[in-house]
Amino acid sequence: MSLAGVKCLVTGAGGFLGQRIVCQLLEEEEGLAEIRATDKAISSEALRRFGKQKTKTLLTTMQGDIRDAAFLHKAVQGVSLVIHTACIIDTLGHVDRQTLWDVNVRGTQLLLEACLRNDVQYFVYTSSLEVTGPNSRGDPIFNGDEDTVYQRTKTFPYAETKKEAEKSVLELDSQPLQDGSRFVTCALRSMFIFGEESPFLLLHLDETIQNDNVFYRMSRKEALVNPVYVGNIAWGHIQVAKAMRDPEKVQHIRGKFYYISDDTPHLSYADFTYELIKELGYGIAPKLPMPLTMLYYYALLLEIVSFLLQPFVRYIPTLNRPLLTLLNTPFTFSYRKAQRDFGYAPRYSWKEAKQLTGQWIAKIDPLRRAYLKNKAL
């Protein structure tokens, strides 16, 4: 099944993942009728990237807020497929809880309401591994799947909003539409995403340069995770969208969530980042700066200081206990069910993903060095 002739809305199209989804949709051999790329802001660089694609598909860019019901109503008119990636990612507390909730949860609910009012039939939601965990105890999962039982506990506000938004999406599956059809929804729980233009890799690169070219280790070697390449998670969205239009496959998909990973090696977050930057001559700290238990107490102290300073100044620690747990809990998942139910298979091998990411890092490395040097002057 193809997406030929489909009108598709991609939210968060200016973001790291959203841009890649739009580009892959534009590359489809059997072109879509229209792709509407929406975001609160779409950079000139993103527009340039979209413009490089040789396609007959109409690309419409729309700038607006996911919290604006009138904007969403306009954005979905005449559309049959929505791929919803727009959200705020925040693991340190830079964004207040209400804003996180309004964008990630209420924004998703408003989009769903607009879809139901306008007979949008298919809805793919970009969820997160953090909907599952890890929990506050740091209980590990090795090669888990959608049937893995895991006791979840309260965690980041970001993770809570993604959980609630995913619930809203999946609960509305099979809702009747005015044209007599039924709403089809599913959610893709992504691993940590890496690749060219990754804001997190850019942040890590800057920190490493400022630390005399040594990456600062904050995760144990045994805390294995399996990141996913941005080109593969984007491809997963397109593959599931195609399968939703298949009368046989859709019954296996509707109302369900899927873990999307690829063949990236299982490493700790720190060792994985090092794997991507080591060819540029960077090093990595051999161990944590202090024993893990002491790090937890240190993070707790930072949280207490942040709380006590609230009446006077806004202090956001660079480390907190949930983040430390996330970085030091073995947490890996298989994509077998996605492969079985809708034919997901990584579009890029680990070798290709590493090469493409490495080339991007090598290109921006001298630029970041010059920027940081000038910033320090």
218 domain residue, yes or no: no
Q: Residue 153 has what pLDDT?
A: 77
280 domain residue, yes or no: no
18 domain residue, yes or no: yes
d(CA 324, CA 137): 11
Q: Which two tokens stand for residue 113?
A: 């309401």
**Which domain range does residue 67 map to?**
7-197+228-269+332-354
- Whether 158 is catalytic is yes
- Beta bridge partners, 128, equal 190
188 domain residue, yes or no: yes
Residue 345 CA: distances (Å) to CA of 286, 323, 338: 35, 30, 8
Residue 30 CA: distances (Å) to CA of 59, 233, 348: 15, 21, 21
Q: Residue 377 has what pLDDT?
A: 65
Q: Is 166 left (phi over 0), alpha (psi -120 to 50) or beta?
A: alpha
Torsion (CA) 321, 322, 327, 333 in degrees, nearest 10: 160
Residue 336 CA: distances (Å) to CA of 134, 339, 346: 21, 5, 11
Q: What is the 3-state secondary structure (H, E, C) of the chain?
A: CCCCCCEEEEECCCCHHHHHHHHHHHCCCCCCCEEEEEECCCCHHHHHHHHCCCCCCEEEEEECCCCCHHHHHHHHCCCCEEEECCCCCCCCCCCCHHHHHHHHHHHHHHHHHHHHHCCCCEEEEEEEHHHCCCCCCCCCEEEECCCCCCCCCCCCHHHHHHHHHHHHHHHCCCCECCCCCECEEEEEEECCEECCCCHHHHHHHHHHHHCCCEECCCCCCCCCECCEEHHHHHHHHHHHHHHHCCCCCHHHHCCEEEEECCCCCCECHHHHHHHHHHHHCCEECCCCCCCHHHHHHHHHHHHHHHHHHCCCCCCCCCCCHHHHHHHCCCEEECCHHHHHHHCCCCCCCHHHHHHHHHHHHHHHHHHHHHHHHHHHC
d(CA 355, CA 91): 28
119 domain residue, yes or no: yes
For the chain, 377 residues long, give each residue's pLDDT as a single digit of tens: 789 999 999 999 999 999 999 999 999 988 899 999 999 999 888 888 888 888 889 999 999 999 999 999 999 999 999 999 999 999 888 899 999 999 999 999 999 999 999 999 999 999 999 999 999 999 999 999 999 999 987 778 999 999 999 999 999 999 999 888 999 999 999 999 999 999 999 999 999 999 999 999 999 999 999 999 999 999 999 999 999 999 999 999 999 999 999 999 999 999 999 999 999 999 999 999 999 999 999 999 999 999 999 999 999 999 999 999 999 999 999 999 999 999 999 999 999 999 999 999 999 999 999 888 888 76
- CB–CB of 75/36 below 8 Å? yes
pLDDT per position as a tens digit, 241-267: 999 999 999 999 999 999 999 999 999
214 domain residue, yes or no: no
276 domain residue, yes or no: no
Number of separate domains in the chain? 1
Q: Residue 47 has what pLDDT?
A: 87
360 domain residue, yes or no: no
pTM, to two decimals: 0.96
Residue 247's CATH number: 3.40.50.720
Which residue of the set 125, 158, 259, 348 is catalytic?
158
